[in-house]
Structure 1
Amino acid sequence: MQSYGKALSHIIDGAIAGTAVDTILFPLDTIKTRLQSNAGFFKSGGFKKIYSGIGAAFVGSAPTAAIFFITYEFCKRNLIYHNYIVLNYMMSAAVAESVSCIIRVPIEVIKQRRQAFFSLSNDKIIRDILLKEGLLGFYRGLLPTILREIPFSFVQYPLWEYFKKSQKFKITSEYNFVDAYTKGALAGGVAAALTTPLDVIKTKIILAKVKYLFYMYKRILFYNQKDNSQISIIKICKDINLNKGFKGYFAGLIPRIMWISIGGAIFLGTYEITSKNFEKYFKNY
């Protein structure tokens, strides 16, 4: 299959996989977000309206996943680490995650605010962000998201590639759906457990109520003592240590593992299945 056909296949495969996982598992994502919110689970809505924000997620799923996989596959073929195959997978996934965050983060900001403040409409959230925070408000949590996604990808994608090639994890002698979904679930579940503290920090930054957000990203890292309305990774960590202790970094752990294990099965499994089929279809392009 020529490069044009491969690129088109990765775009379609990624779009299908991303839309499938975000649509099917949205309720678990809502529960996880509310468990991590500063207001607490029940004050953020509990089990009410657990599909709040699904519109934003649905709009962003396909392009985000498509951008990720076309970048991942391109880097996997072209990076210089072919003699160090695990490093190749890690770097390819890290680059792909960083690029896809350009679309993912604004969608995540709108989605998570709808999940935690379900009485607000998408239009109201967007207007409030533009009025109070400016365009940078849509990228609140960009740095924590990247800091979460890169370690996550360092674990998930090398594991997934290893499982795909290892006979130990092959359920049947022939390729089948169960085989593909199991490998995706294992890779996602391990990565989810290890990166939950980073996810907690990212969620708290996105949901924090601040007065103004016109600041450079260095102020995310270094808390400005003169302005208590600003937020930072360091301040969030101090608040978690003070109010929740070590267990606070693992708020929403079980829903996150469930969500990403099932999500990994659907996302990576669907991608693997569709890619095998679309590669045949696009082989002449």
Structure 2
Amino acid sequence: MSKANSAAPASEGSFDPYSIEGLVHRHENRQLLLQRLQLVRRQIKDLENEVLDIERTVNCLPYRPQDSHSVTSDSPRINRLAAAGAGGLALPLAVGIMHPLDTVRTTMQARHGVLGFSEAVKALGSRGIARGFGLSFAWACPQGAIRMASYETCKELLSDKFYMKSFGIGVSAVLADFASSVIKVPRELITQRMQTGQYTSSWAACQSILRQDGFSGLFRGYLSTASRDTPFMVLLFFSYEQFKAWKIRLTFGDSLPPLAPWSDAETVLWGGVSGALAAWLTTPFDVIKTRVMTAAEAMTIGQAFRSIGPTGLFAGAGPRSAWWFCVSSVFFATYERLRSKFQQRLE
């Protein structure tokens, strides 16, 4: 009887854990736990992927949620003095390097588009191609300082005022351009008259303009310049900021980006692409502005348009786009680098 009882299988939970049955039971339990652990890990991985997908979707939205801790909301604040100093050095450098091409473009547009690129270069000669360089270079310094300090200030103030961030960028670009127009319009007026051979020196040009038209004569073509630069600045800065935002999202994710998120080569490329695109699309406005500024007598926008005709609206579009590609490449690369250095010093 005792032997029969000892040979009977042990009830569940009463067997010896160190017996064969106990070891088998423990092994089975371990396998079940490992399977459950793998399942939980897969679920956690799926949740992590879902969170990343949601974050990418939110970052790609055209607006910025108020409670978002994305790159754009946490990006470093730009010091106004750093922006002014960098802009005041970057713009004259870019304008000075590309001045000869700008002279060729101005000559092509002032001649009603009858001159091609090579013909304009031959007509100008080695001396004529440098006309107006000194004044354009010197006056570009305060223009660049005012423009970039105003742009960074307005962009910071307006970043949360619009449903779509692009509106804030566009308004900031336009306001910054209007602020710098007090320097830009007289600079372009005198420079272009010197480029077309109407005056031999900036002093003679200022004297003649003030004598004939008074102080307001220095701002002839202001309306045509504003009609050209409003869409140009919106296209230029919006495309540049958009390229930069794409780079930040692809490279840094939600972490805090540096002041210069691009390499120098990337800044040269995408800054140039932004400038060339904006220049090509706004060439008709630039042709009309050039005709108004270089005309012997005061001319309205309508009169300039009729004198040019539809076929001449894209005169000099190639040199203008090439000029702005190079200017924007040099300007943005220099500006980003100097702004980052000045910001570090000021902090």
Query: What TM-score bracket applies, with the shorter chain setting the length?
Result: 0.7 to 0.9
Which of the numbers 214, 235, 255 marks the counterpart of 1:155? 235
**8 Å CA contact retained: 2:93, 2:137:** no
TM-score, scaled to structure 2? 0.69
| Cα distance in 1 between the residues matched to 2:316 and 2:120 | 15
Match for residue 87 of structure 1?
Answer: 167
Secondary structure of the corresponding residue to residue 166 of structure 1: helix
Secondary structure of the corresponding residue to residue 286 of structure 2: helix
| Cα distance in 1 between the residues matched to 2:248 and 2:340 | 21
Read off the aligned partner of 1:127 and give its amino acid letter. Q
**8 Å CA contact retained: 1:170, 1:179:** no
| Cα distance in 2 between the residues matched to 1:271 and 1:169 | 22
**8 Å CA contact retained: 2:108, 2:120:** no
* Structure 1 portions without partners, runs of 5+: 211-229
| Cα distance in 2 between the residues matched to 1:119 and 1:248 | 25
Secondary structure of the corresponding residue to residue 184 of structure 2: helix
Give the C-alpha shift of residue 247 in structure 1. Answer: 2.7
| Cα distance in 2 between the residues matched to 1:62 and 1:198 | 24
Which of the numbers 267, 275, 284 marks the counterpart of 2:339? 275
Q: Structure 1 residues 50, 143: CA separation in 2 closer, same or farther (over 3 Å shift)?
A: same
**8 Å CA contact retained: 2:109, 2:316:** yes
| 1:192-207 to 2 correspondences below 5 Å | 192-207=279-294
Match for residue 51 of structure 1?
Answer: 130
* Structure 2 portions without partners, runs of 5+: 1-75, 252-260
1:266 corresponds to 2:330? yes
| Cα distance in 2 between the residues matched to 1:272 and 1:43 | 34
Q: Structure 1 residues 113, 169: CA separation in 2 closer, same or farther (over 3 Å shift)?
A: farther
Secondary structure of the corresponding residue to residue 150 of structure 1: helix
Secondary structure of the corresponding residue to residue 271 of structure 2: helix
Match for residue 255 of structure 1?
Answer: 319
| Cα distance in 2 between the residues matched to 1:14 and 1:50 | 26
| Cα distance in 2 between the residues matched to 1:58 and 1:263 | 13
**8 Å CA contact retained: 1:240, 1:248:** yes
Give the aligned length: 257
| Cα distance in 1 between the residues matched to 2:146 and 2:178 | 10
Which of the numbers 126, 141, 145 marks the counterpart of 1:66? 145
Q: Structure 1 residues 205, 71: CA separation in 2 closer, same or farther (over 3 Å shift)?
A: same
Q: Larger relative CO (CA 8 A, sep 6+): 1 or 2?
A: 1
| Cα distance in 2 between the residues matched to 1:238 and 1:179 | 42
Match for residue 17 of structure 1?
Answer: 90
Give the C-alpha shift of residue 120 in structure 1. Answer: 2.2
**8 Å CA contact retained: 1:180, 1:273:** no
Once the two structures are aligned, what percentage of the paired residues are identical? 30
Cα RMSD, aligned residues only? 2.5
